[in-house]
């Protein structure tokens, strides 16, 4: 029985508005698979969750910077798609892979995927000569030109949204979190794939992409989170391998295995773990950007729908007021 039918002065019941949540969003590395980040961000923009900081590694650093600069992810998506179809990007791709004889029939994943492609960049003689006489297989201009096309020349302090970019310092062996100075320079450092692009001199450090061993910045992100930590993992599954022809094959495979194990352990620190299905997408494959973005959307909808805090029709679940959020200590890290 509804008493309002008999007592007219009782005001109609109104459900309280669902509480908004905040999140630190960690965007992992993975080359072209990073386009899936855009699909995830599109879905996240339709929820009650407000990003309070982006933390990025490699391609995640680039996407994080773009989202920190412009909160309208549709604008960001259109900008990226426009760049991918531009003559300048096509020229860079031709420079990277035009003479490589790149094939698509590989079963490798993670670090082994880019390693296999790198092996095909040049003939055996030219590849060996460059590898033992120069610091990288490719010039830095290819990387910097792409970053400059997408990101304006701004400082971290100019960003509307806080941003942390993670890289590795070859000299000290530390993980480095960049939060001051040039955003372009920080992205460049985080995307400088070891051996492929030269490392970046920065404030006495020699920085490169840490993603080949630590591809999702969960520890850094969780240390900032006041509410939620959301991790977007765009790594590939650890595919089985049967043949190992050289000592280098074995060493690279072990590095791949180590990265996979570390990635699984890091995801346990996150409140929400979104992992698009990208096993068949190579790190350099920008052929179907819309499809990769859509895979990010699908994975985000599937994962977020499991959490009642994201349902618009239900109140958010709050932790008791006397409970402090847990943060994990970050070892071997320097903040700059």
Per-residue pLDDT of the chain in tens (336 residues, 90 and over written 9) = 555 555 555 555 555 556 789 999 999 998 899 999 999 999 999 998 999 999 999 999 999 999 999 999 999 999 999 999 988 787 767 666 543 344 444 444 444 455 555 545 444 444 444 444 455 456 677 789 899 999 999 999 999 999 999 999 999 999 999 999 999 999 999 999 887 889 999 999 999 999 878 889 999 999 999 999 999 999 876 667 788 777 756 766 676 777 777 777 777 889 999 999 988 888 778 889 999 999 999 999 999 988 866 654 433 333 333 344 444 445 456 666
Amino acid 180: pLDDT: 97
Maximum separation of any 2 CA atoms in the chain, in Å: 92
CA distances from 168 to 113, 151, 179, 207, 334 (A): 21, 22, 14, 5, 10
With vertex at residue 255, the alpha carbon angle to CA 119 and CA 178, rounded to the nearest 5 degrees, is 95
Amino acid 208: pLDDT: 94
Cα separation of 288 and 32, whole Å? Answer: 10
Amino acid 202: pLDDT: 92
Q: Which of 81, 86, 90, 61 is nearest to 185 (CA)?
A: 61
Burial 253-278 (b: 16+ CB within 10 A, else e): bebbeebbeebeebbebbbbbbbbeb
Task: Judge residue 45's burial from the number of C-beta atoms within 10 Å of its C-beta, 0-12 exposed, 13-18 middle, 19 or more buried.
Answer: middle
Cα separation of 239 and 257, whole Å? Answer: 10
Residue 318 structure tokens? 């709050």
Task: Judge residue 160's burial from the number of C-beta atoms within 10 Å of its C-beta, 0-12 exposed, 13-18 middle, 19 or more buried.
Answer: exposed
Amino acid 178: pLDDT: 98
Cα separation of 76 and 246, whole Å? Answer: 43
CB atoms near residue 333 (< 10 Å) = 14
H, E, C per residue of 218-234: HHHHHHHCCCEEEEECC
The number of C-alpha atoms within 13 Å of 27 and in the hemisphere containing its C-beta is: 33
Cα separation of 167 and 209, whole Å? Answer: 5
Q: Which of 40, 16, 211 is nearest to 111 (CA)?
A: 211
Radius of gyration of the chain (CA): 22
Cα separation of 238 and 259, whole Å? Answer: 10
SS3 92: helix
Amino acid 137: pLDDT: 57
Give the torsion sign (CA, 307, 308, 310, 316).
Answer: negative
Contacts of 137 (CB under 8 A, 6+ apart): 118, 121, 122, 127, 130, 131, 195, 196
Cα separation of 190 and 99, whole Å? Answer: 26
Amino acid 313: pLDDT: 42
Amino acid 69: pLDDT: 98
Cα separation of 192 and 53, whole Å? Answer: 23
**End-to-end Cα, the chain, rounded Å:** 64
- Give me the helix-helix angle, 73-84 and 36-44, nearest 10°: 160
Provide the annotated active-site residues: 58, 209
């Amino acid at each position: 029985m509804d008493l309002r039918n008999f007592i007219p002065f009782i005001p109609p019941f109104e459900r309280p508005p669902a509480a908004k949540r905040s999140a630190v969003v960690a965007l992992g590395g993975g080359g072209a698979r990073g386009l899936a980040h855009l699909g995830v961000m599109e879905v996240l923009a339709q929820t009650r969750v407000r990003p309070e900081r982006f933390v990025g590694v490699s391609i995640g650093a680039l996407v994080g910077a773009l989202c920190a600069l412009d909160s309208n992810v549709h604008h960001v998506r259109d900008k990226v798609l426009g760049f991918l179809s531009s003559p300048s990007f096509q020229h860079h791709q031709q420079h990277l892979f035009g003479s490589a004889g790149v094939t698509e029939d590989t079963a490798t994943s993670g670090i082994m995927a880019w390693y296999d492609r790198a092996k095909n960049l040049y003939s055996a003689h030219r590849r060996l000569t460059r590898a033992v006489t120069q610091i990288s297989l490719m010039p830095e201009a290819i990387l910097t030109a792409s970053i400059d096309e997408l990101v304006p020349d701004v400082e971290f302090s100019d960003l509307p949204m806080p941003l942390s970019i993670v890289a590795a310092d070859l000299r000290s062996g530390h993980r480095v979190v960049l939060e001051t100075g040039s955003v372009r320079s920080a992205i460049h450092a985080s995307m400088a794939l070891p051996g492929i692009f030269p490392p970046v001199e920065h404030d006495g450090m020699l920085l490169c992409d840490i993603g080949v061993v630590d591809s999702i910045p969960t520890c850094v992100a969780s240390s900032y989170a006041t509410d939620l930590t959301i991790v977007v993992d765009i790594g590939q599954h650890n595919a089985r391998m049967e043949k190992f022809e050289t000592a280098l094959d074995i060493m690279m495979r072990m590095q791949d295995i180590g990265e996979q194990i570390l990635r699984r352990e890091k995801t346990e620190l996150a409140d929400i773990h979104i992992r698009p299905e990208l096993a068949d997408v190579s790190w350099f494959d920008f052929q179907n950007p819309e499809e990769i973005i859509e895979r990010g959307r699908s994975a985000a909808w599937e994962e977020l729908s499991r959490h009642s805090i994201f349902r618009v029709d239900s109140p958010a679940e709050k932790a008791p007021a006397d409970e402090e959020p847990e943060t994990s200590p970050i070892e071997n890290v320097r903040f700059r």
